[in-house]
Amino acid sequence: MSIGEERVCENVTLSGLFDYEEETKEGKTFINFVSSKIDVDPELALFKFENLFDGDKQLEEHFNRVINDNWKGIFDEIKDDYVDVVNRILVQLLNNFFSKVSLEEAFD
């Protein structure tokens, strides 16, 4: 049995701070991101879980309704784990790009 799930956020506001170090190579400035701190603030988050109760659709609908009626508290509980993963991926992606492309090339 597989468990299906879906998470949707609407009207999301993102803000972030990035710590980085600059290094000059051959007259060009390269940056290395040390860390990032982003924050995610959705206007609404909806969850949909399926196949949790051996095909009992009524129980599944009730469960999803309770989850979605209390989405803010649930989102706040799981948000830090998601944001931590996004921060790590973002730093890696930025470093992969800016290790090859100087600031002058990126923003010229």
CA angle 58, 61, 66 (to 5 degrees): 125
Alpha-carbon dihedral 48, 62, 82, 102, rounded to 10 degrees:
30
* Closest C-alpha among 46, 17, 39, 45 to residue 83: 39
The model scores a pTM over 0.85: no
- Domains of the chain and CATH, by start: 4-106 (3.15.10.30)
Q: Quick: pLDDT tens for 70-91.
A: 999 999 999 999 899 999 999 9
Percent of the chain with pLDDT over 70: 96
